[in-house]
Amino acid sequence: GESVGLHLPTLSVQEGDNSIINCAYSNSASDYFIWYKQESGKGPQFIIDIRSNMDKRQGQRVTVLLNKTVKHLSLQIAATQPGDSAVYFCAEIRVPNQFYFGTGTSLTVIP
* Contact residues: another protein, CB under 8 A: 31-32, 34, 36, 41-46, 49, 89, 91, 93, 96-104
**DSSP-assigned letters across all residues of 60-90:** SSEEEEEETTTTEEEEEESS--GGG-EEEEE
Least distance to another protein, CB of residue 109, Å: 20
d(CA 16, CA 49): 24
Least distance to another protein, CB of residue 42, Å: 5
Q: Using the minimum distance from each CB to another protein, give the nearer residue, 96 or 111.
A: 96
Least distance to another protein, CB of residue 91, Å: 8
**DSSP-assigned letters across all residues of 18-42:** -EEEEEE---TT--EEEEEEE-TTS
Q: Using the minimum distance from each CB to another protein, give the nearer residue, 69 or 98.
A: 98
